């Protein structure tokens, strides 16, 4: 397979790299300490102004129309500099893609430009519940039609960006009698909808600069036009859109992994023990070589999935392979980078302990590694491959 990037893709990657280095990277340590919420919001505005919140959205709706490969390259670069900002951008892009995929023309015209230009600081993707994580079809959030409104009741858990999102894509059960996974619909809920309440901010191990909250729908009233796509067919949409989101998480994982290994390579070239640079020890070189293979394999899997998506071909299995491999590789790379720093790796003056904490969740959200394996196995057996 040939992966020559187009001039536009190279431009987007290089622009993302430059802007992220100048603007995001210097703020990342403070965001990790839980400081600089205003700076974080200004990061999001800055990304919107530069087209990074709607990379795969058509220009007619204010997007960059750059494609899935460009999206992956950009998220990798943002993730290299600041994971908290990158995950927010990745989810916001995903929310836009759901609207673009199934929204009516009116919904696309009303909401996509506001996601793209930063009118909404971010978008939120509300699927998970306390009893419905790996198995989202077990959700109990309910939507009932009453007159010319839908009334939503239930609680979504661990929702990225909920605190500052202007728009929420929400899945809820509309036909409780339907077989599991069938009677679920998708809604667009604006932040000021009556009955929408943002719950407590979760205290996280990593990616601490990004917000993660419960979202309560307490008799939340939205107009009938808030339904997106066909009634009772929303779950299929969620499953499809998660595949696209997995390319984002894979790219984010690669960004963190690369940042960790770049820090490690610099360190082993400078650090001396036993009268030599530690980079001269073969034991160290083998660690670097194994992780270099990880980075390259992750990059190729991500490009493959994104390329298939851009071609309009099935890409769910490839997206799961990219997400599984890249997130597990990020775990190996950040752990190796920390090890190569010795005691310094455990100290907050160096960035590698932050990378290790930031990488950990990539094996869990948007489907755990175990769930990716289930998808890959199911597709492989179905294809007879
Ligand atoms: C920081 C953060 C941000 C998040 N952002 C969002 C968001 O924006 N929107 C959203 O909707 N959700 C979000 N989530 C939720 C996330 O997607 C879920 O946490 C994840 O899908 C796992 O669900 P769970 O936590 O309920 O774990 P569980 O499903 O309870 O899984 C527990 C363990 O059991 C394993 N397991 C479960 N089923 C199987 C099986 N069939 N075979 C083998 N192993 C299995 C899992 O792999 C895992 O190891 C976020 C979570 C976090 C922590």
Task: Please tell me the total count of domains within the chain.
Answer: 3
List the residue whose alpha carbon is closest to atom 25 of ligand 1: 133
CATH number at residue 42: 1.10.540.10
The answer on 359 and 266 residing in a single domain is yes
Ligand 1 mutation target, pool 136, 357, 368, most atoms within 8 A of CB: 368
- Residues 151-203 have pLDDT tens digits of 999 999 999 999 999 999 999 999 999 999 899 999 999 999 999 999 999 99
296 tagged catalytic = no
> In the prediction, which pLDDT does 383 show?
76
Picking from 232, 252, 286, the residue at the C-terminal end of a domain is 232
Domain of 218, in residue numbers: 124-232
- Tokens 């796509």 sit at which residue? 229
Q: How far apart are the first and last CA of the chain?
A: 18
Picking from 104, 121, 138, the residue at the C-terminal end of a domain is 121
The answer on 311 and 259 residing in a single domain is yes
List the residue whose alpha carbon is closest to atom 23 of ligand 1: 133
Residue 342 lies in a domain: yes
Average pLDDT of the residues in 6-23: 97
Is the CB–ligand 1 distance for residue 246 below 6 Å? Answer: no
296 phi/psi in degrees, rounded to 5: -70, -40
- Residues 310-336 have pLDDT tens digits of 999 999 999 999 999 999 999 999 999
Is the CB–ligand 1 distance for residue 365 below 6 Å? Answer: yes
> In the prediction, which pLDDT does 23 show?
96
Is residue 240 very low, low, confident or very high in pLDDT (cuts 50, 70, 90)?
Answer: confident
The answer on 216 and 168 residing in a single domain is yes
CB 62 within 8 A of CB 81: no
Residue 338 lies in a domain: yes
Nearest atom in ligand 1 to 124's CA:
8
Burial of 25 (0-12, 13-18, 19+ CB in 10 A): middle
- Residues 90-100 have pLDDT tens digits of 999 999 999 99
The answer on 269 and 220 residing in a single domain is no
The answer on 355 and 257 residing in a single domain is yes
């Amino acid at each position: 397979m040939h992966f020559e990037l187009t001039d536009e893709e190279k431009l987007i990657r290089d622009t993302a790299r430059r802007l992220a280095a100048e603007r995001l990277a210097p703020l990342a340590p403070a965001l990790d300490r839980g400081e600089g919420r205003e700076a974080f919001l200004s990061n999001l505005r800055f990304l919107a102004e530069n087209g990074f919140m709607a990379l795969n959205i058509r220009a007619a709706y204010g997007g960059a129309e750059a494609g899935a490969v460009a999206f992956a390259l950009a998220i990798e670069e943002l993730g290299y500099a600041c994971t908290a900002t990158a995950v927010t951008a990745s989810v916001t892009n995903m929310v836009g893609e759901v609207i673009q995929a199934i929204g009516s023309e009116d919904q696309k015209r009303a909401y996509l430009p506001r996601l793209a230009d930063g009118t909404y600081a971010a978008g939120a993707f509300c699927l998970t519940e306390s009893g419905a994580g790996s198995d989202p079809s077990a959700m109990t959030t309910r939507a009932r039609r009453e007159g010319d409104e839908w009334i939503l009741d239930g609680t979504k858990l661990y929702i990225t960006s909920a605190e500052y999102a202007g728009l929420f894509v929400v899945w809820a059960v509309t036909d409780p009698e339907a077989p599991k996974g069938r009677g679920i619909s998708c809604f667009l809920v604006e932040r000021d909808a009556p009955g929408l309440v943002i719950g407590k901010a979760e205290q996280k191990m990593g990616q601490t600069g990004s917000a993660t909250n419960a979202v309560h729908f307490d008799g939340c009233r939205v107009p009938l036009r808030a339904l997106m796509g066909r009634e009772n067919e929303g779950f299929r949409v969620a499953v499809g859109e998660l595949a696209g989101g997995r390319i984002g998480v894979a790219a984010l994982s690669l960004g963190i992994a690369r940042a960790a290994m770049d820090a490690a390579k610099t360190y082993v070239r400078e650090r001396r023990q036993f009268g030599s640079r530690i980079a001269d020890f073969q034991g160290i070189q083998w660690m670097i070589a194994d992780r270099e293979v990880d980075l390259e394999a992750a990059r190729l899997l991500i490009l493959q999935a994104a390329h298939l998506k851009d071609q309009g071909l099935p890409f769910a299995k490839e997206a799961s392979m990219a997400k599984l491999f890249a997130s597990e590789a990020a775990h190996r790379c950040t752990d190796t980078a920390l090890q190569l720093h010795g005691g310094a790796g455990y100290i907050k003056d160096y960035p590698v302990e932050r990378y290790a904490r930031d990488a950990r969740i990539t094996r869990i959200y948007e489907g755990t590694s175990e769930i990716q394996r289930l998808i890959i196995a199911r597709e492989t057996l179905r294809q007879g491959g």
